[in-house]
Chains A and B, each alone.
Chain A
Amino acid sequence: MLDTFEILTTSGVVLWSRSYAPVGANIINSLIRDVFIEERIVPVEDAAQKPTYKKEGYTLKWTMAKDLGLIFVAVYQSLVHLTWIDKLLDNVCALFVGLYGEQVKSKHTTTLDCSRFKPYFDRQMQELEGATPSFGKPNVALTPPSSSGNDSVEDTRLEPPAAQNQAQKPIFNHDTSTDATPVPTPDASRPSTPAPSHLLTAKAGPGGKLSRRGRKKAAAASSPAAASSGDEATRRKTRSSAKKNRVWNEFGADEEDGSVVLDYSTHDVEGDLAQSGPALEEINPETWGKKTSKGQFVLKDLDDEMDEIIAEQNAKKQSSTATASSGGIMGSSIGAIGGLFRNVVGGKTLTKEDLAKPLKGMEDHLLKKNVAREAAVRLCESVERDLVGLKTGSFTTIESTIRTSMETALTKILTPTSSLDLLREISTINSAQHRPYVLSIVGVNGVGKSTNLSKIAFFLLQNHHRVLIAAADTFRSGAVEQLRVHVRNLKELSRREGGEVEIFEKGYGKDAANIAADAVQFAQKNGFDVVLIDTAGRRHNDQRLMSSLEKFAKLAKPDKILMVGEALVGSDSVAQARNFNGSFGPGRGLDGFVISKCDTVGDMVGTLVSMVHATGIPVVFLGVGQHYADLRGLNVQSVCRLLMS
């Protein structure tokens, strides 16, 4: 069953929502965070299916009206399989855009009176739920009166949405109980109403509009029978009288259009309008006028209007694609000239075809900058997703629009979600938990793990920390000696500064994880602030070597695991980042990247983007030279500039 349906703007304001069961706001928040902002989960591009997102037992489906900045989200329990959500999203999107599109566009306000949207939505729901092959649904049309026997006539007349509400309730019952008979409803005194059978036959029609019309007829036919039955005779009468009006309309008695009952409803509606203010009328008088004259009393009248709006929206969409694709010689040439002109002046609505060629150029450009193909394609796709359907600004070409969009996309990817202040983290851990801060470094062979480790050690020493370097590379000959040389140098350098550095070594051939754990214990005993653990280089697709990392993470419990990656590596960087990120066991991943040898690639710093794109993990440091001091933080703007140059 659908739990919640929300319509919100990209700026976060919920314009309209309908909730059947309480769903925490955090569910939709995490959808926005994970999918729209951090793009951790890339929605599968599939024309037939809307993208889904699963969180805490809920499944979320959404669609967007990009030009208006609207997001339509449907939330339901993952256990329930709902096939009609896609259709609902499409229809509601078309309806809402059709009804309120102009109002949403107006600047400088968030207020939007959507109180009238509810009947439309409920009708859509009913229709789509009815379309699913679950039997016993036709009862819905008749059960609501029985479930609310004490409702007065006045109430139902005033508040058709309330009646709709009640109409929803039995649906819940029916979904939980597989029984198709109307027995569980309290109205047991009416066992043989003819209506259900009528409606069932109506259902058997080919579906869509025709079946609805059939249903309408059936309802009209059945209502007199219903009126004669049981205890709610008065109620039924009002309903049936209303439906008689519909019948009159349908048989072409036009002069009966403004009938007595409808006069009641218009009176009520006028009261409503007076309350909601004049803004409504001045914005869309035709729509509302229609509604009031036809009356919101008989909800089935909404169908026609609803279909009209949806059809109109679909037609608009199709015509826009049609004009883009076809046209005669004359039309195409004028179109081409107009397109060229618009391309220069701006104000052109972007389509997929417009974007294809410039985006290909952009992709090639990114590939030249050493961005892995996978990442480049994904970036271009996200730019395309952003831009399709948008209008270019005045005096901007498609190319420059794509360029700015790509720059924003790059900035968004590279900017870390949380701050990466190593010094602050160290001081918090040291003072709050009274234990050393453990940082370990992993990576493929020969990328510069030990070098970068000693650079980080130098940085920490400059800030007067006591650093212990653990030589957990027990495999490669010379690794321990190399670290020993580094430590000797660092000692020399830091003598005046006031830091202190030691090495923890156990020789070769021992288990690295145990050495790391011992080093942490040793540091704890001797009052070191930071433990830096060097590990052996390993090939990322060698399962045997990678599996030992899980044990390492479990024993040494590093606060931060950094992976060193070369800026020189090409498309392999994506696989490296992924494999290392997944090798520490469940619930533990990398915390950041150190990209080494950045000085050797010039402006081809695409590796940064590839690695961050593959994992969503930020770049912490860049190695930019051979000296101990040649370690830098990441400056997102400058990297973007390099990539776009």
Chain B
Amino acid sequence: MAWHDEDSWLTTAFAPKLSTIGFTFLLAIVLPILLHQYLYRIKTPTSLPTFLLIGPSAAGKTALLTALERGSPIPTHTSTSPLSVQALLPEEYVPSSASYRSPGDPAFERARRFVLYDTPGHGKLRHFATTQLVNPTNIQGIIFVVDAAAVAEDVGLNETAEYMHDVLLALQKRYTGNRTSKGPKEIPLLIAANKLDLFTALPPHLVKISLEKAITEVRKSRVKGMKDSGVGVDGADEGLGEEKEWLGDGGEGVFEFGQMEEVGTNVSVRGGNVVGGQGSDVKDWWEWIAEQL
């Protein structure tokens, strides 16, 4: 039975038979559907908007994370590794992107989900946070947790300001280093003034003012500071080409958080407390998250 015989498979395949037509038709319909199903399955589930929790050690990042995840904080200790957790916006807040949707809509429910990414705040472990900042895929916002009581003192203020300076500078570099004309996605930053239940804590507007002052100081001394060893020791000229960049308005004058808006970072300061005698007060932060979602 050669291929040119009448009842060979090749001839049958091209013959105008009903079975052949039916099979071909079925294949034409089903194959795309199966292919779609397959591709849909293997693709990772749609990435949720992520909020990055940054801040110096013992500011209350992990406690805030647990409070946002389950409603009330649980005891925590110093973190040594990052943690990402899926959380749900409570009923009483409406995500801004879904404000027109009705509560029964599945898309409405989906819009209320987000991921919180907690980073260790210890000086040696900040690379977890900074690597996230270099390439922020689907980061919807950054929550910089500040201990409002520690900011009242010089030591705490300096540490916080330096870390915040570095974070803001990284965000600015992301914006200015962009090659396309459109500019990267905006990443808003919330300064969460935590521990307002403490007697010594500064109110949010004072936290803002003292941080702005301290960041101005940090910037001033960074401008004057020494070149780092990356240029000299390597012997290569790689470092010479790139200009060092200064935070906000070319590094002159007084720093204000308003200057960050130019580079796509809207900074807002809100207060609250995670743990406290009268329970936790995270309402303002929930509102901020709802605005960003």
Contact = CB atoms under 8 A, between A and B. Distances in A.
Interface of A: 6, 8-14, 17, 25, 28-29, 32-33, 36-38, 69, 107-111, 408, 411-412, 415-419, 421, 423-424, 427-428, 432, 459, 462-463, 598-599, 602, 605, 621-622, 624-625, 630-635, 637-639, 641-642
Contact of A633 (B85, B158, B218, B227): B227
A305 B75 CA distance: 29
Q: Which 7 A-B pairs have the closest CB atoms?
A: A11-B83, A12-B79, A635-B230, A108-B86, A638-B230, A624-B232, A635-B228
11 contacts: A6-B77, A11-B83, A12-B76, A421-B162, A428-B154, A432-B154, A634-B229, A635-B233, A638-B228, A639-B229, A642-B233
B123 A411 contact: no
Contacts of B209: none
Interface in B220-255: 221-222, 224-235
A179 B82 CA distance: 51
Given A11-B82, A424-B158, 4 more contacts: A416-B124, A424-B218, A631-B226, A639-B233
A25 B77 contact: yes
Contacts of B225: 421, 423, 633
B115 A108 contact: yes
B140 to A, nearest CB: 16
A8 B230 contact: no
A29 B115 CA distance: 26
Interface stretch (B20-28, B63-71, B144-152): B63-71
Contacts of A11: 62, 79-83, 118, 120
B51 to A, nearest CB: 13
Contacts of A635: 228-230, 233
Contacts of A416: 123-124
B122 interface: yes
A427 B225 CA distance: 13
Contact of B77 (A28, A419, A637): A28
B77 A8 contact: yes
B81 to A, nearest CB: 4
A543 to B, nearest CB: 34
B232 A632 contact: yes
Contact of A459 (B78, B84, B123, B226): B226
A635 B70 CA distance: 41
B78 A12 contact: yes
Contacts of A599: 232-233
Contacts of A621: 226
B77 A624 contact: no
Interface in B81-128: 81-86, 115, 118, 120, 122-127
Contacts of B69: 109-111
Contacts of A427: 217, 221
A557 B31 CA distance: 82
Name, among A111, A421, A641, the residue most crowded by chain B CB atoms within 10 Å (CB to CB). Answer: A421
Contacts of B217: 424, 427
A638 B83 contact: no
A641 to B, nearest CB: 8
A108 B85 contact: yes
A174 B123 CA distance: 46
B228 A630 contact: no
Contact of A17 (B75, B79, B229): B75
B66 A632 contact: no
A642 B83 CA distance: 31
A418 B154 contact: no
A628 to B, nearest CB: 12
A12 B229 contact: no
Find the residue from B118, B224, B226, B234 having the highest chain A CB count within 10 A.
B226
A421 B220 CA distance: 11
B78 A33 contact: yes
Given A12-B76, A632-B229, A423 B62 contact: no
A32 B228 contact: no
B80 A36 contact: yes
Contact of B159 (A10, A32, A418, A632): A418
A417 B158 contact: no
Contacts of B228: 632-635, 638
B233 A10 contact: no
Nearest to B127: A411
B66 A624 contact: no
Contacts of B15: none
Contacts of B65: 110
Given A8-B77, A12-B76, A630 B232 contact: yes
Contacts of A29: 58, 77-78
Contacts of A637: 230
A361 to B, nearest CB: 25
Contacts of A107: 84
B74 interface: yes
Given A622-B233, A637-B230, A13 B86 contact: no
Contacts of A38: 124
B224 A13 contact: no
A599 B62 CA distance: 43
Contacts of A424: 158, 217-218, 221
A332 to B, nearest CB: 36
Contacts of B230: 635, 637-638
A635 to B, nearest CB: 4
Contact of B86 (A109, A423, A463): A109
A32 B229 contact: no
Contact of A598 (B125, B126, B227, B233): B233
Given A109-B85, A415-B123, A421-B221, A10 B79 contact: yes
Contact of B124 (A6, A412, A630, A639): A412
Contacts of B79: 10-12
B62 A10 contact: no
Nearest to A637: B230
A223 to B, nearest CB: 39
B80 A13 contact: no
Given A110-B85, A419-B162, A463-B224, A32 B80 contact: yes
